[in-house]
Structure 1
Amino acid sequence: MTSWNFAGKRVLVTGAAGGIGRCVAERFRAEGARVVGLDLAAPNAGGNGNAEAELIALDITDPRQVDEVCGRILGESGSLDILVNAAGVLRLGAAEDLTLDDWQACFGVNVSGAFYLMRRCIPLFKRQRSGVIVNVASNAAHVPRVGMTAYCASKAAMVSLSHCVGLELAPFGVRCNVVSPGSTDTPMLRGMFKNPSDGQRLLAGLPEHFKLGIPLGKLASPEEIADVVLFLASDRSSHVTLQDVVVDGGATLGA
C-alpha cells in the first residue's frame, strides 16, 4: 500500500459514516492524520473522545449547523490542512416523476452541503495560505442517464462549483480538485440492485438507460477511489488544481 505521509495533518471528511467517505477517513487515519468525520448517520454525536477517530453528527444541508460545528472544530484546532466533501445521496426518477423532496435532497447534500463546508473553511485556508480541498462528484456529471436527472444535475453542479472555488483559491496556494467515481461497491449502489443479476448487467451496460458498460469489467472498490482522493490531497499532486479525475474503469470512454 502506498504511504502518503499525512502524519499530523488535520483532515475534515463529510459522509464519513459509510461508503467512500468512511474509507477515505480510515485511510487518512491509517496514514497518521488527525481526522474529524462529519455525517448525519454518526452513531455518537460529538465523537467518542478519540481525536484520531472522531465522528460528529451533522446535517450538512443545514448551514447553521455547519457554521456551529465547523466553528467549534476549527476554533479548537486553529488550523485545517485538508477538506474532503464525500457526502452524497442518490434519488432516482425521470424529471416529471421526481418529487421536490428528491430534487432538493440531491442538491442539498451533493452541492449545497459542500458549499456550506467550503464557505466556512475558505477564510482559514486563505489565512494559512495553504490547504487542499477534494470534492467527490460522479462520472454522472459527465454523461446523461435516464432516470437520474437530479443526481446528474447535482453532480455536474458540484464539479462547476469546485472549479470556481479552485480558481478563487489558487492565488493563495490552496488547491481544489474533484474525484468523479463511476459505479463503486458501496451500500448506496447495492441499494439500487433489485435482483442478483443487476450487478452483471451494470458491468455489461444498460442500453435502455443509455449507460455504457465498464471496460475493466468490475466495480470500483471504495479503496480505489480513496487512493485518488489521497493522491490529490498529498504533496505529490502539489501542481494539480482545478482538475476532475474520473475513476470509473473506462465507463465514460474518456468523456
Structure 2
Amino acid sequence: MAPDTHIGTTAIVTGAASGIGRSIADHFAAEGRAVLCADINRAGAEKVAATIIKDGGHARAVEVDVADEPSVQAMVDDAISWTGQIDALAANAGIMAEGSALTLSLEDWTRVMSTNATGAFLTARAALPHMIDGGGGAIVFTASTVALAGMKGIAAYSASKGAVVALTRQMAADYADQNIRVNAVAPGAVRTPLSESHFRARAEDDAEFETLLEAVIDRYPLKRWGTTAEIADLVTFLCSDRAGWMTGQIIPVDGGLLELR
C-alpha cells in the first residue's frame, strides 16, 4: 500500500505509552502532526494512539525495543510506509536502575546504557536518512538534570543521560548543513511511572515512599514536581519552526534546581 501523503507532517515518539512520552504524543497530535506512538509496551502505545484518533488526530502504534537495531528499523519503516516521511523525532524511551558504582550490577549497567544511550543513537540513526531525503527535520532527545549535576545512587542512569547530552551536541554539529536540528530537554523531577519506580525501590513502605517524594519537592526552588505537559510543551516547540535557529542545545526544565539551589 502506498503511503498516505495527505496526512501531513509526521512525528515519531518513543516511550509513548506513558509519562512524558504520552504527553509528547498528545501535544504533537494537537499541533496536527501524524504521530507514530512507539513503545516496548504495545498495548500502552495502542491506547495512546486510540485516544488521539478518537479526538480527531492521526496516530498509529508500533512495538519497539530501542536497544534492538532491527526493531528500531522496523519502527522507522512503519512510519515511512504510513505517511512517507519523518519530520520530527522525540527519542524519549528510557529506563532506570538503582545503584552506585560499587553496588550496581554489570547487567543493570548494560541494560540501562543499551536502552537510554544506544537506544537514542539507534533511533536517531534510523530516522536520519529519511529526514535528510525530506529536506530536514528535528530531533529531540530526553536527557536529564542528572546528566548535568550529580545525584546519588543512579550511576548507570546518570552516565546514560550524559551520553545523550554529548550525542546531542555531536549530531547537531554533524547534520546542521543538512537542515537537521538536534536538541535535548533535561527534565528535573517529573512524576511519572519511571520516576515513581525509582523511589519505590528505595522505600520500605508507602509512608517512606511519600516521605521521599516530599523530600524531592523540598530541593526545588519552585517547590513542586514538574508535569509531563511542561516537558512536552518544550519538545514540541523545539520540533517546530519557532525553534528554527536552535540546535545543539541542552535545555533544563527543572524548577530552578540547577541554577538556584
TM-score by length of 2: 0.87
| Counterpart pick for 2:224 among 195, 218, 221 | 218
**Match for residue 210 of structure 1?**
none
1:196 aligns with 2:210: yes
Structure 2 counterpart of 1:24, one-letter code: I
The question of whether the paired residues in 2 share the 8 Å contact of 1:44 and 1:56 is answered with no
Q: Give the fraction of aligned pairs with identical amino acids, expressed as a percent.
A: 33
The answer (yes or no) to whether the contact 2:16–2:45 under 8 Å persists in 1 is no
Per the alignment, residue 119 of structure 2 pairs with: 113
Residues 1:92 and 2:106 are matched in the alignment: no
Match of 2:4 in 1: none
Q: Output one character per residue of 1:67-118: Cα deviation in whole Å (capped at 9) or x when no partner.
A: 2232232244221110001111111111121112211121111111111111
Query: Which string of whole-angstrom CA distances, capped at 9 and with x for unpartnered residues, describes residues 37-88 of structure 1?
Result: 110012178877x682312111111111112232232244221110001111
| 1:1-255 mapped onto 2 (5 Å cutoff) | 8-43=8-43, 52-191=58-197, 192-193=199-200, 194=203, 195-204=209-218, 213-253=219-259
**Which residues of structure 1 form unaligned runs of 5+?**
1-6, 205-212
Conserved in 1, the CA contact under 8 Å of 2:79 and 2:86? no
**Cα distance, 1:129 vs structure 2:** 2.1
Q: Are the aligned partners of 1:81 and 1:130 in contact in 2 as well (CA < 8 Å)?
A: yes
Amino acid at match of 1:229: V
User: 3-state DSSP class of the match of 2:258?
Assistant: coil
Deviation at 1:183, TM superposition (A): 0.3
Q: Residue 241 of structure 1 aligns to which amino acid in structure 2? A: T
Q: Distance in 1 between matches of 2:150 and 2:194?
A: 19
| 2: CA distance, partners of 1:69 / 1:250 | 36
What is the RMSD computed on CA atoms of the aligned residues? 2.1
The 1-side partners of 2:232 and 2:45 are apart by 25
Structure holding more helix per residue: 2
Q: Does the 8 A contact of 2:222 with 2:256 survive in 1?
A: yes
Specify the SS of the correspondent of 2:72.
Answer: helix
Distance of 2:149 and 2:97 partners within structure 1: 17
Distance 1:38 1:184, change over 3 A: same
For residues 193-215 of structure 1, the C-alpha deviation after alignment (integer angstroms, 9 at most, x for no partner) is: 432221111122xxxxxxxx111
Aligned to 2:206: none
In 1, Cα distance between equivalents of 2:135 and 2:175: 9
Q: Which residue of 2 aligns with 1:3?
A: none
The unaligned stretches of length 5 or more in structure 2 are: 1-6, 204-208
